[in-house]
Every structure is written in structure tokens, then in C-alpha cells.
Structure 1
Amino acid sequence: MQHDAPLDLQHAFRRLAGMHADAGEVVTLRSADGSVDRVGYREIAERTARLASALDGLGIVQGDRVATFMWNSHEHTEAYLAIPCMGAVLHTLNLRLFAEQLVYIVNHAEDRVVIIDDTLIPLVAPLVDQLPTVEHWIVVGEGDASALGDGVLRYEELLAEQPGGFSWPRIEDDRQAAALCYTSGTTGNPKGVLYSHRSTLLHSLAILTADSFGICKSDRILPVVPMFHANAWGLVYGAALSGASLIMPGPFMQAGPLTTLMERERCTVAGAVPTIWMDVLRYADEHKPDLSALRVVPCGGAAVPRSLMQEFEERHGVTVCQAWGMTETSPLASVAIPPADAVGEEHWRYRTMQGQIAPLVEVRIVADDGTEQPWDGVSSGEIQVRGQWIASAYYRDDTSADKFDDGWLRTGDVGAITSDGFIAITDRSKDVIKSGGEWVSSVDLENALMGHPGVREAAVIAKPDERFTERPLACIVRDSDVSAQELVDFLEGQVARWWIPDEVAFVDEVPKTSVGKFDKKELRRRLAEDELDDRHAVARPAAKPESSPA
């Protein structure tokens, strides 16, 4: 029998601090003009130990929650390592939450210390009096912190005061909590998801595999995805395990600084949501940067339009790879790498799916009547998952039973699974459109609309209809003066005729959730309150036979 050694994040830290100490670095963009800080892994390890020592001196013990309210940076990387490796729980706070949500999660988690970037102080200053569990604010940077009141400490001063080195405690149970992240749910309070040492290490190993992101020591990884979102998709801990370098964008999330950073630092991997890559594509088309070093761009958080993947590949030689998951899945559950023998349309059919199920993740499809559906690529239902890094309940939440079924996470995504294990999502259960008794896939409609060169963003929602109960309404952000009728005509032959909307609403921007996903709940509210002003009725193609609703 093999030695039952704990699977904890101290193993990742030991690799970074030992065999990778002189190989990897963390590069942080500090200004829009391109100036950066470079900190090698040896120094990262030394500073991580000093941070752990400082937190220990503040009375932080195993199980305590220490929050971060930070941009992606080398300081945030140090917190990612120090907090869980000393046995405390890393709680990454979402910078984009509403004030009342931020107050709720800090109090719900009972955070004792918050590490905060000085540029973000104005976001929390009005809330300080509502956060009774926070004993100390550790400020990164030299900006004015007086609004935080008493208990303010400076990050660099705190590290400088430590003697160096730290006696890391043994993680006795690798199933103890390492990190805490709250979902950006659109109803009710955010839900807390605890990640254990074991689940986080196994998830980080998964993204190193060839059929995932294939992270290796020669990679230079740009996590555009915020470090507060689902553990930055595992990229930070994956880098620590493999020795890959990290290139951090700081607060500069615009296409120009990101693209320049990718080009100058010769990034090989860069992960972000589709809306970021849409902006980068437009910038790259205009400025023609050299992106030849990029070998893969993991993209998730929302369905990735086929047009986005094709245009990046055709015009810039960049492979955008769709992946699927959520906060509750750590987040990796599947990656869309097509079979080697898939060519032409078959290749793109695989690329536009949510991907093949990752090892150690189990998936099933459950119909409305509770029956499990076959993997035939046609039978559909709610996608449910379980596995080594899949949440089994929410943190201190009595409503968990509504989201979990005998160990299975009910994702709320509706779709099918092919016989070779590729997931094809057609909708969110709360976003499905049933028109005249037939289902309409808003995801497929959005992907088709995004293929029009005059469309920047497309979101499809249901609108009430006297005859068919519901009809799809296309909400479009234009890149040109394309008309509603042109868009409808463009859909002809790409989707079922009865899917084609009979109305289009032009909007300045599709509202987004705190993690960059389309907020269809807000669009539905605007529709209900008659706030979608620029709506246009269109003539749809000729009706199908009586079996269809149109």
C-alpha cells in the first residue's frame, strides 16, 4: 500500500519555493504605459513566509478566514500561498459586488483580517462600520487609508518587520478548508463555496493535463480572470506546481494594456471570459500585435461564440479553447479539445460544445420527471455533476438541499451529452424559452447572432406572447448600423425558422453580473418595465409546418 500523504497546498508551495525558485517569476503590470514589477519565485517564497508570520502575529489560527480585496498581482499571489498554507482560509472578495452583498459575505464568513489594495479603499470605506468581525486592514500601497479607521497596517511594513522564515504547521486533514469563494447568484444572498486542500490540489493537477490546459514549466500564464473568481481557474496553484511564470494585469483590464502585456511578456496561456476576448480581438484586428507565443486561450464563464474562436484562429493564429464550470466546480468540469480525427464542420461542432468531461468529474443528465437520460447527444435535461473538487453543500446555508441531490450538484444548465462525453449546453434552466410547446435554445441563437460582423454582443431572452406563450427577443449591441431585419435574415438557414426572433431590441450594453456573465435577469426586468426602448418588429421567414409554433 502507498503512503497516505496529505494532498495539501503546502506541497504546491514547497515546489515553488524549492525546485522552481530560480525558474519562475510573477510579473505585475503597474501602469497603463507598460511598467511592471518582476519578483522571482525565490523572493515570492520568502515574502510568503513573512506574510504568514505577520498573520500569525495578529492572532490568525487554523480555520480563521482572511479576506483579500485585491487586483491580480504578486502580493495577491503571496496571499494565495500564505493563508491556506498556514491553515487559515483564503476568502477572495469580489470587487464588483454591490455594497450590501459585500457586507453580507464578510459578515457571513466572519473575516478577521482583510488585505486590500489602496486603490480599492473607496469601495469599502463607507462599509467599515458594518463589518464588526474585521479586526485589521492590511493595505497594499501607500495611498490614504484613513477612511478605514483604526486597525490599519501597511503590507510592506508588516513584511519588513518579520524576522524571515516561518514554521509551517502540519495540515492534519487535507479535507480542511483552504479557500472560500461566494457565488454571484442572481437571486437571494451570495452562496459560500468552501474548497479543501485536497480538492484544490487535485483541481490544480487537472489543469496540468494535456487534455485540459496542459500547463507546464515553460509556460507564461496571464490570468485575466480575476483572482477573486473561482480561484482564478486554478492557474495560480497550477503555476506553483509546474514552475510556470505568472503575468498579472493588475487593474488594467482594457484590451490595449492586456494585448501589449501579452505581446511583451510572450504569454503562452491567457484565461478570461468571452467579453474580454471580444475586445482583445477588435484591438488586435486594428493594431496587429504579435500574439504568436499564445498556444492556448482558455475561455469560459459563458458560451464562447464560434465566430470569436474562428476569427482569432484565422486572423491571429490564436487557439481559443472553450471550458465549462462554475464556482461550485472549482471551476473546471470540461474542456472542448476535439478528437484528433475531427476535421471541418465536425471539428467546429466539438469546439462549440462545452467540452469533454474532465477526469475525476462525473456527470449525468436528469429530465424534469427525475429520470436519468442517455448520453446520445440528443436527450436533454439538467446537467448534474459530482467529483473530487465539486461542492457538496454551501457554507452555512440552509438552502443547500435545493441545489444538491444526494451528492450531485444541480448546475441549472440544460443540455445533452454525446456518447464520447462531450457536454452541449442549450440554456440555463431559468433562461429557457418555450414557444408554442417547443424549446428554443437561447445559447445557439446568441452564438449565431454573434457571427454577424455588425454584432458586438447578443443576449436572447423570452418575451410574453399571446399565441405562443413565449417568443425569443434578441437584445443586440451593434458594432455598425446593421438593421434588425438584416440580423433576422442572417439567421436564415443557421437555426430552425421558428427559433428566429420576430423582434429585436438594440441596447448600448448587455448588463453583466459581477463575474462578467450576461445578466438576463436584468434584461427581463427592463422588458417587464418597458425600459427596452429601441425595439423593432421584424418579418420572419415563412412558417414551418403545423408541428412548429411559427
Structure 2
Amino acid sequence: MQQGPLLVTHLLRYAERFHRAARITTQRRDGSTAALAYPELAARTARLAHALAARGIARGERLATLAWNDHRHLELYYGVAGIGAVCHTVNPRLFPDQIAFILNDAGDTHLFLDPMFLPILCAIGDRVPAALKTLVLLEPPAETVPATLAARFEVLDYEALIAGHAETFDWPEFEENTAAFLCYSSGTTGDPKGVLYSHRSCVLHAYGANQPDSFGLRSVDTVMPVVPMFHVNAWGIPFVALLAGASLVLPGPRLDGASLFRLMEETGVTLSAGVPTIWLGLLNHLRETGSRFAKPPRLLIGGSACPLPIIETLERDYGACVDHAWGMTETSPIGLYNTPKREQAGWSAADRLRLKRKQGRPVAGVQLRIVDAEGREVAMDGVAFGEILVRGPWVAAAYFGHDDDPAFTADGWFRTGDVATMDESGYVEIVDRAKDVIKSGGEWISSIALENIAIGHPKLREAAVIGARHPKWDERPVLVAVAAEGTTPTKAEILEWFDGKVAKWWRPDDVIFVDELPHTATGKLLKTELRKRYRDHLSP
């Protein structure tokens, strides 16, 4: 058979030639939109590639981005990787110290950024790496660039940088295992860790993620990644969309429920992807305004387990189809996707809904095991649980610059730290993170299961469960909750809500009401902070 490398620029060239009518719609900060066709995207990306080549960017050189989901960020994806350099997406929601660490660890030489992130650089001060000498502003700044930054960096305008260059580029062919993208974990248990994706892994992930039982995008679809392009490459959607020839909608920084609903209706979005908090915001907007979808979309939920009441309401009351998925930075990220199989055809609506709370079945190409503390695979009975181990062509083999991390086994498996069950049909349900599971009297209690029950109470807006030290049982669950607007729930009624839904010994020992819960940079509950605050809540 013929041989040839798998490169992300092949996806760009394919979309440019065979899907000329598809559109990339960007929502600007003021809510207005701009649209490009794939040939226009390819032309602008070629101009960027010429500009980078003229600056002497070398193979393997890391170029960072601090940017929202828009067409310029998409041009950087393909233009930087296309010349053999590495597109390093930086999460602006991380703490300044973490951003400084990431820039130094990656050794970036250029930073392409939205001007609204200039204060981040000011906060970092002189902790940026010496190699980073150039800032490229993706839009004209509303105010003059601070003098401290202007004195420290070469500051360029993106449109001026690419202006005047040719709109075609002879994209080089190189080895498919060449590095293309660099993403860092959120660093909830230490310094963030880099995952270096290859061209091959990105292309194979796009093929795997777009199987009919996963994204299943076609050229007639319009997909809107609400998940940021600085978070695991927007779950691979910038590659899957071009592979399928689907239209893209990039929402920029306006991620509130009202803005997303308006954009979805105006552009005819058929699939959108985001974390549970995004869809909770959209659901609240629908409830408050009485709005309805003209054509209900598919909504992909990942990042953390979605409470079943949110899924049920979006499907029952608003006609949406909600799909659960699971993955990590280390898995590119799609590893599991939840769609029904033949054996569920005769199930009741209630049973099918309960199935949706699970994260899904392994995507073909991903090998997955669930093992106990001794490394033995647990039974596929939906009850026995253990840690998920994965491997595959788009799963990391090591962290960037660190070849000896214990998360990777000697025989090539990645230890995810997620504790889960698997049923006889292969559906996996995450029951906790290994560090979050509550060990009470030698037995395990799933904090996620308790959270899903709690959030179903009409008087709660958000909830988290942690293990607090206990003089007799080692740990006991404590519920930390945010009341729904206009309600004043009591501890007694919240605790009674658990009766009949879990074993009595699983019921939380106490409820703590707070104004808000801490979250990570990717929208997940920051349980390390909650444990720090309430670890001794039950101690004498």
C-alpha cells in the first residue's frame, strides 16, 4: 500500500478544496459575527505560514497562544503546526504563577494573545522565559500597551504581520510523529504537566472521535465548540470539523446562556460541546426567558460528570439530545462516548435516561482497563470499581520534558486517576477521582454519586461532596452546597432528600451552605480547596 504521513495540514487542504460552502463563524466581543469560507481560512493560514517562515521559525519551536475560540486562533492551529512548529495553547484561567511556570517549561519564543490578556503578562512580571521576546496582538488593543511590556517585548499586530504575504503555501511534508500541539493539565495537584501531541495523534484522534457512535459529524452539520480552544484543543473539534467538512461556530469570550442561545439559533448549530456549567447557564436562560430551540441540537457534555436532572430537563422540556463523553488532556481527549446500542432498544425511557449518566463506551482505538489496587481487572458488572488505565495511538506516553512520571506504567498504560465501574455492555461510569473517593470505615463512598443526587434538589444550584476527617470512621461525607436563587433550604430537608436514594451509611453527615464553590480553570469543582477549608469540619 502507498505510504504517506498523517499531517493536520491535509485536513485543511481537504476542507479548502471539497467543502467550499462551509462557513467558520466567529462571534466578536460585542456580539457581532464575521464569517469565512474554508478557502478563505486556507488563504489567511497560508499568509500566516509565510510570515512565520520569514521570521525564521524553526521546526519544533514552541509558539504560545492566549486566545479565545475565533478564526485567528484556528489559523494559528494550522499555520504553526503546518510549518513544523508547535502550537502551545495556554489556559488564561490558570493562576498567574501557573501561567509563568507553563511558559518557562515550554520555552515559548512568541506569544499570540487577545489584548484583554495583557494584564496577565503584567502580573507575571519578569518571570516569563528569556526566550519569549515577541508578543503578537490578535486584535488592536483598546488602550496603549503598558510601557513595561512595550519595553520588554517586540509587540506586533497580527493583521499587519500576515499582510502582503501570498495566499498559497507549499505545505511541507515531514514525519508524522513530528510534534504539533502542546497542552498542559490544569495542575490541580501540583505544577501543570505538558502533553505534546503529534500530527499523527491529532489526525487519528479526529478519525476516531468522528465515528458514527461518537461526534458523527457530516458536511451538513454546524458544530460549535464552547469548550475553549485552549483546553485540550477544544476536544479535537477544530480537526474533526475540517475532516467532515462541517461548518464551525466559534463563540469567542461571550459564553453566557443568552449569547450562546442567540448564536446557536442564528447559525443553526446541530452539535455543541461544553462542560456542565455551560449547559446549566443555557438551561437557566431557557427557563427564565421561555425560549425554545427552533431545531433542538445535540449537546455534548464532558469535563466532569453532568447531574442527571440537567440532562433530563434539556431532553424532556427542550428537545435537545444530550451525549456524555469522557477524556483527559492525556487522551487528546476523547476516550469514551455514550450513545445507545442495539440491546437498549426495548428499554423504558427511565432506563435509557439512567444510562445517560454514564460517560460511555471506549472509542475504537482506545484500549481501556479498570483495575483494583492489586492491578487485577474488576468484573464488568456495573458495581465493582477501580482505576481506569488507558492506552492507544492518541494517548500520551510521557509528559513533556518528564519521562519518569509514575502515571505511566512500564508496559505502556496511562493511570488516569479516575475511579469507575464498567457494565456488561462496556459502559463506563466515573464514580470519583482516586483522590476524591471517600473512605468510610474501610468502605468507599462515591462523592460524584452524592453530588448528582444533591443537585437534583430544586433548592440547590450547585453542590460538592468531600470527605471530612472522622474520629471513628476515618472519613465521612460532607455536602457543601449553593442554594438556588430565591430559596432558603435547611440542612434537614437536604439530608432527607438522600433517603431512599442511597444506602443510609452513604448519607452526608452535614450540609454547609456557601455563596459559591471554587472551580478549576477548566470549570471543574476545586475539591482540593474545599478539603483545605472543611477537612476538619467533623473533628472534635
Question: For residues 6-31 of structure 1, what are the alpha-carbon distances to aligned partners after superposition, in whole Å with 9 as ceiling and x for unaligned?
Answer: 111121111122111x2112111114
Match of 1:427 in 2: 432
* Number of matched pairs: 527
Question: For residues 229-286 of structure 1, what are the alpha-carbon distances to aligned partners after superposition, in whole Å with 9 as ceiling and x for unaligned?
Answer: 0110011111111111111111111112112111222211111100111111011111
Asked if the contact 2:519–2:526 (Cα under 8 Å) also holds between the matched residues in 1, the reply is yes
Residues 109 and 471 of structure 1: is their aligned pair in 2 closer, same or farther, counting only changes over 3 Å?
same
Shift of 1:128: 5.2
Match of 1:197 in 2: 199
Among residues 135, 139, 142, which one is paired with 2:140 in the alignment? 142
Deviates more, 1:466-475 or 1:125-134: 125-134
Asked if the contact 1:337–1:350 (Cα under 8 Å) also holds between the matched residues in 2, the reply is no
Quick one: which amino acid aligns to residue 426 of structure 2?
G
Rounded Cα–Cα distance in structure 2 between residues aligned with 1:167 and 1:295:
38
Asked if the contact 2:481–2:512 (Cα under 8 Å) also holds between the matched residues in 1, the reply is yes
Match of 2:304 in 1: 302
Match of 2:49 in 1: 52
Among residues 170, 181, 184, which one is paired with 1:182 in the alignment? 184
Match of 2:87 in 1: 90
Residue 37 of structure 1 pairs with residue 42 of structure 2 = no
Unaligned 5+ runs, structure 1: 536-550
Match of 1:543 in 2: none
Match of 1:316 in 2: 318
Unaligned 5+ runs, structure 2: none
Shift of 1:127: 2.8
**TM-score normalised by L of structure 2:** 0.95
Match of 1:127 in 2: 124
Rounded Cα–Cα distance in structure 2 between residues aligned with 1:411 and 1:294:
34
Residues 529 and 71 of structure 1: is their aligned pair in 2 closer, same or farther, counting only changes over 3 Å?
farther
Rounded Cα–Cα distance in structure 2 between residues aligned with 1:128 and 1:136:
15
Residue 75 of structure 1 pairs with residue 82 of structure 2 = no
Match of 2:258 in 1: 256
Among residues 70, 85, 107, which one is paired with 1:110 in the alignment? 107
Match of 1:363 in 2: 368
Rounded Cα–Cα distance in structure 2 between residues aligned with 1:19 and 1:421:
37
Partner of 1:75: helix, strand, or coil? helix
Residues 57 and 128 of structure 1: is their aligned pair in 2 closer, same or farther, counting only changes over 3 Å?
farther
Among residues 502, 519, 522, which one is paired with 1:512 in the alignment? 519
Shift of 1:204: 0.9
Rounded Cα–Cα distance in structure 2 between residues aligned with 1:250 and 1:526:
34
Quick one: which amino acid aligns to residue 225 of structure 1?
V
Asked if the contact 2:465–2:479 (Cα under 8 Å) also holds between the matched residues in 1, the reply is yes
Residue 464 of structure 1 pairs with residue 469 of structure 2 = yes
Asked if the contact 1:263–1:290 (Cα under 8 Å) also holds between the matched residues in 2, the reply is no
Partner of 1:411: helix, strand, or coil? strand
Asked if the contact 1:23–1:243 (Cα under 8 Å) also holds between the matched residues in 2, the reply is no
Rounded Cα–Cα distance in structure 1 between residues aligned with 2:29 and 2:187:
33
Asked if the contact 1:139–1:145 (Cα under 8 Å) also holds between the matched residues in 2, the reply is no
Among residues 361, 371, 377, which one is paired with 2:382 in the alignment? 377
Shift of 1:406: 2.0
Rounded Cα–Cα distance in structure 1 between residues aligned with 2:21 and 2:391:
36
Shift of 1:295: 3.0
Rounded Cα–Cα distance in structure 1 between residues aligned with 2:474 and 2:208:
44
Deviates more, 1:418-427 or 1:400-409: 400-409
Asked if the contact 2:397–2:408 (Cα under 8 Å) also holds between the matched residues in 1, the reply is no
Match of 1:417 in 2: 422
Rounded Cα–Cα distance in structure 2 between residues aligned with 1:425 and 1:130:
38
Asked if the contact 1:292–1:318 (Cα under 8 Å) also holds between the matched residues in 2, the reply is no
Rounded Cα–Cα distance in structure 2 between residues aligned with 1:373 and 1:436:
22
Shift of 1:444: 0.7
Shift of 1:405: 4.5
Residues 404 and 254 of structure 1: is their aligned pair in 2 closer, same or farther, counting only changes over 3 Å?
farther
Asked if the contact 2:469–2:536 (Cα under 8 Å) also holds between the matched residues in 1, the reply is no
Among residues 347, 354, 358, which one is paired with 1:349 in the alignment? 354
Match of 2:160 in 1: 157
Residues 482 and 372 of structure 1: is their aligned pair in 2 closer, same or farther, counting only changes over 3 Å?
same
Asked if the contact 1:292–1:317 (Cα under 8 Å) also holds between the matched residues in 2, the reply is no
Rounded Cα–Cα distance in structure 2 between residues aligned with 1:513 and 1:74:
26
1:332-347 equivalence runs, <5 A: 332-339=334-341, 340-341=344-345, 342-347=347-352
Shift of 1:122: 1.5
Measured on the aligned residues, the alpha-carbon RMSD in Å equals: 1.6
Rounded Cα–Cα distance in structure 2 between residues aligned with 1:528 and 1:401:
27
Partner of 2:34: helix, strand, or coil? strand
Asked if the contact 2:5–2:173 (Cα under 8 Å) also holds between the matched residues in 1, the reply is no
Match of 1:546 in 2: none
Match of 1:545 in 2: none
Question: For residues 171-204 of structure 1, what are the alpha-carbon distances to aligned partners after superposition, in whole Å with 9 as ceiling and x for unaligned?
Answer: 2x11111100000121221000011111111111
Quick one: which amino acid aligns to residue 136 of structure 2?
I
Rounded Cα–Cα distance in structure 1 between residues aligned with 2:504 and 2:350:
21
Shift of 1:401: 2.7
Asked if the contact 2:337–2:363 (Cα under 8 Å) also holds between the matched residues in 1, the reply is yes
Asked if the contact 2:330–2:395 (Cα under 8 Å) also holds between the matched residues in 1, the reply is yes
Asked if the contact 2:437–2:447 (Cα under 8 Å) also holds between the matched residues in 1, the reply is yes
Partner of 2:368: helix, strand, or coil? strand
Shift of 1:403: 4.2
Match of 2:239 in 1: 237
Deviates more, 1:128-137 or 1:500-509: 128-137
Match of 1:548 in 2: none
Question: For residues 517-541 of structure 1, what are the alpha-carbon distances to aligned partners after superposition, in whole Å with 9 as ceiling and x for unaligned?
Answer: 11100000111477xxxx9xxxxxx
Shift of 1:504: 0.3
Asked if the contact 1:263–1:289 (Cα under 8 Å) also holds between the matched residues in 2, the reply is no
Rounded Cα–Cα distance in structure 2 between residues aligned with 1:174 and 1:423:
32
Asked if the contact 1:260–1:289 (Cα under 8 Å) also holds between the matched residues in 2, the reply is no
Rounded Cα–Cα distance in structure 1 between residues aligned with 2:167 and 2:365:
39
Shift of 1:312: 0.5
